[in-house]
Structure 1
Amino acid sequence: MCDDDIHPGLVTDPTISRRNLGIGTLAVAGVAAATAARAQAKVVEKDVSIKTPDGTSDSVFLHPQGKGPWPAVLIWPDIMGLRPVKREMGRRLAAQGYAVLVVNPFYRSHTAPVMPGDINFSDPATRQTLMGYRQKMTDAGIDADAIAYVGWLDAQPQVNKKKKVGVQGYCMGGPLSFRTAGAVPNRIGAVGSFHGGGLTTAQPNSPHLLVAKTKAEYLVCVAQNDDARAPNDKETLKKTFAETGKKGNVHVHPADHGWCVPGSQVYNQAEAEKAWAELSAMYKRAL
């Protein structure tokens, strides 16, 4: 779960230009930007409703134009939930050749977007509301959601069921991605966590303890301020991957918690693009 002292305060969610999401680093210009924009323009986007044991999740499904099929990827948002910027991130990934499901993790409490407009997580009332939504998500409920989401993806004609599924998450979505790999071990081939919170705890339900039962490759991108406060967490993850024989890359980025998401006060484009490139490379290998 996101920590009050680490999570950025005001998170704006403007209409993110496809140029900013698609060009990569600042060194890439002109032709590359136009190519990325054209690719994202050829993505099909559809709002969908997915039945779970606890209700109906309003989510968004994105895939390239054409028959496909393509490998599937499930995206767990951060504690601000499914909102326009997460749709844009899903669109970017779909343009790279994936069938992408971006879910509303808080469907038990509110349809998406759970809070319209700008979100100030440092505001006590806002924080209390969002944390309340998160607390309604039990481990059993999350696991059931993961099974339902992957099952829904496998039922879509656009999804290549011969390929493994990827799952990625931001902030609270990091541990949810670990849980997804544990809930559907035979389908998940790659797990990405970006400034994920609570990946290693002293509790028996710590997400890192699920790694042994999974069959996935892992990419864990850690924020510098998260690492400064809990420097042993990355070592625990590295040890876990080594002991379980899983391929896992753990990197601390010179950027603060929330740096991967455009619109955040701490968004760092250069480091976000590095993380995206690592994720893309893993998906090419593992899916």
Structure 2
Amino acid sequence: MWNKLRTDEYEGMLAETITMPGYKGDQIHAYFSRPLGKGPFPGIILIPHMPGWDEFCRETARRFSQHGYMALCPDIYCRFGHGTPDEIATKARDAGGVADDSVIGDCEGSLEYLNSLPYSNGKAGVIGMCSGGRHAFLAACKVSGLDAAVDCWGGRVVASKEELTPARPVAPIDYTPELGCPLLGLFGNDDKFPTPEQVDLQEEELKKYGKNYKFYRYDDAGHGFMYYHTQMYRPRQAMDAWEKVFDFFGEHLSLKERD
């Protein structure tokens, strides 16, 4: 829980850039942080958003580790080259975006990496924001072995045929029957991408197929309301959302020894 750390407890973490196998065995970079100690710790795959594999993602990974999680953020954009996050995000946009199959493969590699660690408790979730939220829902449907997923205002989960591309050939909502783990969704009611109506459609599909989910929608908040480094930031809504995230992962990624 946020700000419930005891003042007399030791705290420490390791955070570093690593190389790991991703889609089709590609060696990709990832930012990895974990608490110090033998664990066992649950794992979280943090999918970067379209602003890129950026400083916000690294700070978010460390926030999870401060609360007892291993956090792995794969550079899903690495195949477009290397440079500043803005430079590589621009290249990705110009190329039509990173392919869904590539993201799924990188998530599968991330999950395998986390589960292979001797201090893993054998449980792992996925979270993403913006395009990463879309990817988190996609991973929850297509990657076997995830225990929980969080979609933060993922755009184009609901998409028309005209919005589909070779890189994104299927609207993720069409994979709803395959959703294999509990889902948490966080949305701003002033968002245009996704709109409240699109969130309604996604919720209807989840209900239709009897999926385990919780959606929270925030008034006076739009797209990116948790981005504290932008004008979109809404502190009250953001901190409530963080509480929801920690409660959700705490429930589904409980600190248990491997079976």
Match of 2:257 in 1: none
Q: Does 1:269 align with 2:239?
A: no
| Identical-pair percentage | 21
Gaps of 5+ in 2: 162-168, 254-259
SS across alignment from 1:115 = helix
Q: Give the root-mean-square deviation of aligned CA atoms.
A: 2.6
Query: Given residue 135 of structure 2, which amino acid in structure 1 is its aligned partner?
Result: L
Q: Does 1:177 align with 2:136?
A: yes
Q: Quickly say closer, same or farther: Cα 1:130–1:267, change in 2 above 3 A.
A: farther
- 8 Å Cα contact 2:155/2:194 also seen in 1: no
What is the CA–CA distance in structure 1 between the aligned matches of 2:17 and 2:7, rounded to whole Å? Answer: 26
Q: Does 1:90 align with 2:49?
A: no
What is the CA–CA distance in structure 1 between the aligned matches of 2:70 and 2:194, rounded to whole Å? Answer: 36
Which moves more between the two structures, 250-259 or 173-182?
Answer: 250-259
Deviations along 1:28-71, one digit per CA (max 9) or x if unpaired, are: xxxx68859x87x5121121111222732211111111001211
Aligned length: 243
Deviations along 1:175-196, one digit per CA (max 9) or x if unpaired, are: 11112112223x1121111121
Matches within 5 A, 1:139-158: 139-158=100-119
Match of 2:164 in 1: none
Match of 1:197 in 2: 155
Match of 1:132 in 2: 94
What is the CA–CA distance in structure 1 between the aligned matches of 2:182 and 2:206, rounded to whole Å? Answer: 9
SS across alignment from 1:188 = coil
Match of 1:216 in 2: 181
- 8 Å Cα contact 2:52/2:89 also seen in 1: no
Gaps of 5+ in 1: 1-21, 24-31, 117-125
- 8 Å Cα contact 1:76/1:177 also seen in 2: yes
What is the CA–CA distance in structure 2 between the aligned matches of 1:286 and 1:70, rounded to whole Å? Answer: 13
- 8 Å Cα contact 2:15/2:31 also seen in 1: yes
What is the CA–CA distance in structure 1 between the aligned matches of 2:92 and 2:228, rounded to whole Å? Answer: 20
Q: Does 1:62 align with 2:33?
A: yes
SS across alignment from 2:41 = coil
Q: Quickly say closer, same or farther: Cα 1:127–1:224, change in 2 above 3 A.
A: farther
Compute the displacement of 1:113 (Å): 4.3
- 8 Å Cα contact 1:193/1:220 also seen in 2: yes
Compute the displacement of 1:283 (Å): 0.8
Compute the displacement of 1:132 (Å): 2.5
Query: Given residue 267 of structure 1, which amino acid in structure 2 is its aligned partner?
Result: Y
What is the CA–CA distance in structure 2 between the aligned matches of 1:229 and 1:138, rounded to whole Å? Answer: 20
What is the CA–CA distance in structure 2 between the aligned matches of 1:45 and 1:144, rounded to whole Å? Answer: 23
What is the CA–CA distance in structure 1 between the aligned matches of 2:252 and 2:83, rounded to whole Å? Answer: 31
Compute the displacement of 1:269 (Å): 1.6
Report the TM-score when normalising by structure 1: 0.76
Match of 1:80 in 2: 51
SS across alignment from 1:252 = strand
Compute the displacement of 1:129 (Å): 3.6
- 8 Å Cα contact 1:55/1:108 also seen in 2: no
Q: Quickly say closer, same or farther: Cα 1:112–1:224, change in 2 above 3 A.
A: farther
Report the TM-score when normalising by structure 2: 0.84
- 8 Å Cα contact 2:150/2:185 also seen in 1: yes
Compute the displacement of 1:213 (Å): 1.2
What is the CA–CA distance in structure 2 between the aligned matches of 1:43 and 1:128, rounded to whole Å? Answer: 32
